[in-house]
Amino acid sequence: MSQVGIIMGSQSDLKVMGSAAEYLEELGISCEVTVVSAHRTPERMYDYARTARERGLKVIIAGAGGAAHLPGMVASMTTLPVIGVPVKSSNSIDGWDSVLSILQMPAGVPVATVALNGAANAGILAAEIIGAFDPEVATRLQAFKESLKQKVLDSAEKIEKEGYKNSI
């Protein structure tokens, strides 16, 4: 049974949204990935959102470009946390339309919003939400955060030893 649902408005969004699934898999969290369009398949979106909890989902990550209604519409139909990923699509106005569509939700229908094309952070945030109640996930997240710290320290050491010109 999947703990996180990753949905997107069209298959072209998979290039961005796939990174959320990759981080979740790295952290040992099961996820399902599918296409659910708010505008082209509203009944599918409704069914997905309404049955998410009973299917075992704990968090939904919803990515969309353009008008980007998917995250907000899904959030209006479930009490699960929804993380919105604005996607810069071919019909987008530099992604700002997607960012603002997801970010500017009315009171009572919150959507956590990550950066434009920020599906990786959406995956990590979903893991943190689950990790708040699952000690095993929290332990894996701590190891992940330590690995980020170590990468920075390794980079600093290399630049300091080899000089900045040799480190570019």
Mean pLDDT of 129-149: 97
Q: What is the pLDDT of residue 148?
A: 95
> Residue ranges of the domains in the chain?
4-133
Answer whether residue 155 shows pLDDT above 90.
yes
55 appears as a binding residue in the annotation: no
Q: What is the pLDDT of residue 93?
A: 80
10 appears as a binding residue in the annotation: yes
Q: What is the pLDDT of residue 168?
A: 80
The helix (H) or strand (E) run that includes residue 84 is: strand 82-87
What digits encode the pLDDT tens for the residues 19-57?
999 999 999 999 999 999 999 999 999 999 999 999 999
What digits encode the pLDDT tens for the residues 84-136?
999 998 877 888 999 999 999 999 999 999 999 999 999 999 999 999 999 99
Residues with Cβ within 8 Å of 112's Cβ and at least 6 positions away in sequence, in order, are: 81, 82, 83, 84, 125
Q: What is the pLDDT of residue 66?
A: 86
Q: Which fold has domain 4-133?
A: Rossmann fold (3.40.50)
Q: What is the pLDDT of residue 10?
A: 93
Structure tokens at 122: 């959406």
Q: What is the pLDDT of residue 36?
A: 97
40 appears as a binding residue in the annotation: yes
Indicate the pLDDT class of residue 70, thresholds 50, 70 and 90.
Answer: very high
In the chain, how long is the greatest CA-to-CA distance? 59
Q: What is the pLDDT of residue 161?
A: 93
Instruction: For the chain, state the CA radius of gyration.
Output: 18
Q: What is the pLDDT of residue 142?
A: 97
